[in-house]
Amino acid sequence: MEKENLWKSALAQIQLDISEPNFKTWFKKTSISEIKDNKAIISVPSNFVKSWIKKKYHKKILKSLKNVNSNIEDIDYIILANNTDEKKEAIKVENNNHPQMEFQELSLDPETGLNPKYTFDNFVIGPFNELAHAAGFAVSDNPGFVYNPLFIYSKTGLGKTHLLQAIGNKINKNKEKKVLYIPAQKFISEIISAIRGNKMDDFKYKYKDIDVFIIDDIQFLSGKEKTQEEFFHTFNELYEKNKQIILSSDRHPKSISALTDRLRSRFEGGMIADIGCPDTETRAAILKAKAKEKGFSFPDNVYYYIADNVKKNIRELEGVLNKIIIQQQITKKNINIEDVKLIIKNINQISSSSLSFSKLIKTVSDFYDVNEKDITGKSRKREIVKSRQIIIYILRKNLNYSFPYIAKKIGGKDHTTIMYSFSKIENEVKKNNDIKEEISYIEESLTTT
């Protein structure tokens, strides 16, 4: 396999394992410059990236490369400052002949924050997102005059960003209106640095003449009063000029804690639409559409098998699809249901390498806001007991650790206590959707950070 393809396949695997911002930051300008004596020489754009990648991702990179080419035994890194566009061009040209997974991240427009890959054309509609889609479409036809603000909410991975971006892209097409898409986290850091650098005037100026202001994931404004205040000013100024405002969040404005009331009532003054979970039929349709977009096609029973077994969200569906594509490219054999089964099974288990005990304790105690030390201690406080039980459940379920072993890890408790804890949570997960979601959230953060 050529080195470009080898690197692309490896990157595609790495991309599935780490968070998107990390992936973009560290792997953006990397390539394989040569393969010599079973050693892959990877070129990176700077010394900083080199030491970071080496420290944090060395094992992952090696593993992914080995998956594609088992002859590779080691990696070296070199710095190639101008690791450039020529190469990107080469990859692009080749992509036209052999559809491959591309580096889509590279195409963000810095002016608008829009990524052309998200459009209405490739947004599949089903009962779960019909309303949000219709509202978004209406807004894009007549910004500022139909639903203002438009507030879209859903759990993660169900299409908020895609829809917001599609609206932006559609309006931006005729270049008459000035569109700006910004993730709330970025908006917050802009405000903070403007305040620090005494540049609030510049900040205000930037937002003054926008016609369509799209801000994603505003749950991150929660608890940040100063930022909310600035946001409120920006919001009002635009709103009063009939400029379109579009927002998204992972929950209804009512459930965003620590949101000032005036901001909340502003959000509620427009149109609020949620996106639910797609049904099996729609999940299969989405898979089919995504595969086609990437230039692949699989038998219908493959799509249906995935749709039946991967239900959490669309991002996860895409993850499975990507793995299948990679496997097909690597083995050059058509994928069958057995392959798919295996791939899904592997995904559902958090691998032991990514789940360290200390990380699990930290994640869970952060999540429930308890003290890490108390987990292994003797406290019977409700939230501590709950955190402990969740940890036990995750350890057992994902790693199949024995009860006595878990007992030892959790501060030398009796193993019957551990068994009891496990079955308690196991039962609760069946009845109580909240706890099920909390656990998925925790598991997700374990695999993505």
Question: x-or-dash pattern for ligand ADP, window 296-315, by CB under 6 A?
Answer: ------------------xx
Answer yes or no whether residue 444 interacts with ligand ADP by CB under 6 A: no
Residue (160 or 288) nearer to Mg ion, CB: 160
Label residues 350-359 b or e (16+ Cβ within 10 Å = b).
beeeebeeee
Using CB distances below 5 to 8 A depending on partner kind, what does residue 286 bind out of ligand ADP, Mg ion, none?
ligand ADP
The closest alpha carbon to 443, from 390, 382, 406, belongs to: 390
Hey, what are 323's tokens?
């793995």
Answer yes or no whether residue 318 interacts with ligand ADP by CB under 6 A: yes
Answer yes or no whether residue 129 interacts with ligand ADP by CB under 6 A: yes
Rounded to a whole number of angstroms, the minimum distance from the CB of residue 160 to ligand ADP is: 3
Answer yes or no whether residue 184 interacts with ligand ADP by CB under 6 A: no
Interface of this chain with ligand ADP, residues 66 to 125, rule: CB under 6 A = 122-124
Interface of this chain with ligand ADP, residues 250 to 289, rule: CB under 6 A = 286
Hey, what are 401's tokens?
């650790």
Answer yes or no whether residue 154 interacts with ligand ADP by CB under 6 A: yes
Residue (132 or 340) nearer to ligand ADP, CB: 132
Answer yes or no whether residue 227 interacts with ligand ADP by CB under 6 A: no
Q: How many residues does the chain have?
A: 449
Point out which residues bind Mg ion (CB under 5 A).
160-161
H helices present in 349-411, as ranges: 357-368, 372-375, 382-399, 403-409
CA distance 276 to 278: 7
Hey, what are 198's tokens?
């005494």
Q: What does 18-68 look like in DSSP terms, one character per residue?
A: S-HHHHHHHHTT-EEEEEETTEEEEEES-HHHHHHHHHHHHHHHHHHHHHH
Rounded to a whole number of angstroms, the minimum distance from the CB of residue 289 to ligand ADP is: 6
CA distance 411 to 373: 10
- Residue for token digits 């049904």? 279
Task: Find the part of the chain contacting ligand ADP (CB under 6 A) among 28-36, 157-165, 192-200, 324-332.
Answer: 157-165
Residue (45 or 113) nearer to ligand ADP, CB: 113
Residue (160 or 243) nearer to ligand ADP, CB: 160
The closest alpha carbon to 122, from 11, 234, 286, 358, belongs to: 286
Residue (152 or 375) nearer to Mg ion, CB: 152
Using CB distances below 5 to 8 A depending on partner kind, what does residue 123 bind out of ligand ADP, Mg ion, none?
ligand ADP
Hey, what are 194's tokens?
């403007």
Torsion of CA 19, 24, 28, 34, to 10 degrees: 0
What residue type is assigned to position 285 of the chain? Answer: A
Interface of this chain with ligand ADP, residues 203 to 222, rule: CB under 6 A = none
Rounded to a whole number of angstroms, the minimum distance from the CB of residue 291 to ligand ADP is: 12
* Residues 414, 416, 419: CA angle, nearest 5 degrees: 120
* Residues 149, 150, 151: CA angle, nearest 5 degrees: 110
Rounded to a whole number of angstroms, the minimum distance from the CB of residue 196 to ligand ADP is: 29
Residue (190 or 274) nearer to ligand ADP, CB: 274
The closest alpha carbon to 218, from 246, 241, 252, 249, belongs to: 249
Q: Which residue is nearest to ligand ADP (CB)?
A: 159
Q: Which residues contact 382 (CB under 8 A, 6 or more apart)?
A: none
Rounded to a whole number of angstroms, the minimum distance from the CB of residue 161 to ligand ADP is: 3
Residue (29 or 160) nearer to Mg ion, CB: 160
Residue (318 or 443) nearer to ligand ADP, CB: 318
Rounded to a whole number of angstroms, the minimum distance from the CB of residue 139 to Mg ion is: 18
Residue (289 or 429) nearer to ligand ADP, CB: 289
Using CB distances below 5 to 8 A depending on partner kind, what does residue 425 bind out of ligand ADP, Mg ion, none?
none
Rounded to a whole number of angstroms, the minimum distance from the CB of residue 400 to ligand ADP is: 30
Residue (69 or 219) nearer to ligand ADP, CB: 219
Using a 10 angstrom Cβ sphere, with 0-12 exposed, 13-18 middle and 19 or more buried, the burial of residue 205 is exposed
Rounded to a whole number of angstroms, the minimum distance from the CB of residue 282 to ligand ADP is: 8
Q: What does 164-204 look like in DSSP terms, one character per residue?
A: HHHHHHHHHTTS-S-EEEEEHHHHHHHHHHHHHTT-HHHHH
Which position among 160, 288, 396, 409 is part of the footprint of ligand ADP (CB under 6 A)?
Answer: 160
Residues contacting ligand ADP: total by CB under 6 A:
16
CA distance 313 to 297: 21
- Residue for token digits 């206590």? 417
Q: Under the rule (CB under 6 A), what is the footprint of ligand ADP? A: 122-124, 129, 154, 156-162, 286, 314-315, 318
